Amino acid sequence: MNIDVISVLPGMFTALTEHGVVGRALSTSRSNSRPTDSIDFRVWNPRDYTEDKHKTVDDRPYGGGPGMVMMAEPLAKTITAIREFRGGSDSGLDNKAYQAKVVYLSPQGRAVDQKLFGSVASENLILLCGRYEGVDQRLLDAEVDEEWSIGDYVLSGGEIAAMVVVDALVRLVPGSLGNDESANQDSFSEQIDGLLDCPHYTRPEEYAGMVVPDVLLSGDHAVIKQWRCEQSLQSTQAKRPDLLKKKD
């Protein structure tokens, strides 16, 4: 899976690439040591695809009003550069033949969820991050396949929304989470789909007068699995009954 992000603030993505299990997964893929089942992640700055000496990527809105709008041309050139890089002459594809979903992160988009992430985890993505008041509509009409929202609130730019999407996707790509990957895949497949997680405990056995549930100390893995399943159901009923109504 290739993920290409378009952002005028590429440095923001070090929050993702330089920390934790997601950072390790993304740098492993860049070092080319896992050619299959991993994520090749790159960030592209539209300023690098401008022609003027000030590297202008935004301009004032037609019709007036506050703020600035991201210009179509630098973004279109960035997308062309991505298509050339991913499906360039050495790959045997021409520029337009590179198969990728172009996604615009915006408050107007379709609400993302785990099911959507599962359905795109095998595709290539180009994530477009808006800044200022957003992107010229003609670029969106010409280039964008889907518009996604991470929730009903407004952010200063699409970068944090894109990082949410990438983090969630890294967890779904087999072989991307390092040492613990087989364990992670196992617990993912055993997890009851669409329910909230069960409670977790670690040492000590007693903390602030509270003890670990006996069943978790029993060593009976069938009983433990049953208990965790019941806890997940009860927690979902109490905190998110809407998730249960969606299921059979």
Q: Mark whether 86 is an active-site residue.
A: no
Question: Which is nearer to ligand 4G4, 113 or 180 (by Cβ)?
Answer: 113
Q: How far apart are CB 107 and ligand 4G4 at their closest, in Å?
A: 4
Question: Which is nearer to ligand 4G4, 4 or 58 (by Cβ)?
Answer: 58
DSSP three-state, residue 15: helix
Q: Please, are residues 174 and 132 in contact by the beta-carbon 8 Å criterion?
A: no
Catalytic-labelled residue, pool 186, 190, 193, 230 = 186
How many other CB atoms sit within 10 Å of the CB of residue 55? Answer: 14
Cα(175)–Cα(9) distance, integer angstroms: 29
Among 8, 69, 158, 170, binds ligand 4G4 (CB under 6 A): 158
Sites for ligand 4G4 among residues 36-75 (CB under 6 A): none
DSSP letter (8 states) at residue 159: H
Q: Mark whether 107 is an active-site residue.
A: yes
Among 107, 174, 175, 194, binds ligand 4G4 (CB under 6 A): 107
Cα(136)–Cα(143) distance, integer angstroms: 11
DSSP letter (8 states) at residue 112: P
Among 3, 79, 100, 150, binds ligand 4G4 (CB under 6 A): 150
Active site residues: 107, 133, 171, 186
